Amino acid sequence: MSIISQKLKENLNTIIEYFLLFILYAHLGWWMEVIIFYFKTHTFVNRGFLIGPYCSIYGFGCLFITILFGKYKNNPKKLFMLSFIWCSIIEYVVGYMMEVTFGGRWWQYTDANFLNINGRVWLVTTILFGFLATLLIRKVEPLLKKIIEKIPKKFINTVAGTILVIYAFDIFVTSTFVFGARDAIESIESDCTTIISEYVLDNIKNIIR
């Protein structure tokens, strides 16, 4: 019985660690998107789909990269190629699914010459993602795991539980508003991130008032 209990505890600790890494990757991805967009437009825009400061696609993409390709940590060339392919697939599939589900595009590369695929994937960005993924597995992930391991388990569990509740609530609220604006989204021919971000925030402000 104690062996089973210990196994469950270990599995739970692993799940909590993965969830925290997911949130950290999503948050770092959000900052990268916001900073790049700011330098391009000199305006602050929430580049994530959700209200909070995280881009879930980065969270899922990075987490699965570390799980799937971590064993190639000492083979940078293979790690880069696999990450490059994986990032291309993830970006294309997620972009397509969001278009089908919500009726609009949260990013597109139609102005990025012939190196894009249906405006959903661009060779330049996927090369960048390949390099970042290689850096993530070789340097960033080991550092983040060491930091998480040094924090008391009870505190980690409380933080993870709180973030999970906030994240789940964010998904519910944002999805509700975005589904409600589907007709307007479908009429937007370009990147709808800025418009949707403002629309969701305006609705939240009206509810608070």
Per-residue model confidence (pLDDT) at position 161: 94
pLDDT band at 124 (very low <50, low <70, confident <90, very high): confident
136 touches 79 (CB < 8 A)? no
- What share of the chain has pLDDT > 70, as a percent? 77
Is 5 a residue whose pLDDT tops 90? no
Is 119 a residue whose pLDDT tops 90? no
Per-residue pLDDT tens for 51-70? 888 998 899 989 999 998 98
Is 181 a residue whose pLDDT tops 90? no
Task: Rounding to the nearest 10 degrees, give the CA dihedral for residues 173, 176, 179, 183.
Answer: -90
Other CB atoms within a 10 A radius of the CB of residue 58 amount to 25
Instruction: Calculate the average pLDDT of the chain.
Output: 81
Which has more confidence, 186 or 141? 141
Domain count for the chain, please give it.
1
pLDDT band at 42 (very low <50, low <70, confident <90, very high): confident
Per-residue model confidence (pLDDT) at position 105: 72
Other CB atoms within a 10 A radius of the CB of residue 79 amount to 23
pLDDT band at 26 (very low <50, low <70, confident <90, very high): very high
- DSSP string covering 13-68: HHHHHHHHHHHHHHHHHHHHHHHHHHHHHSS----SSSSSS--HHHHHHHHHHHHH
**For the residues 191-195, what does the mean pLDDT come to?**
59
Structural domain for 161, as ranges: 2-208
Per-residue model confidence (pLDDT) at position 102: 72
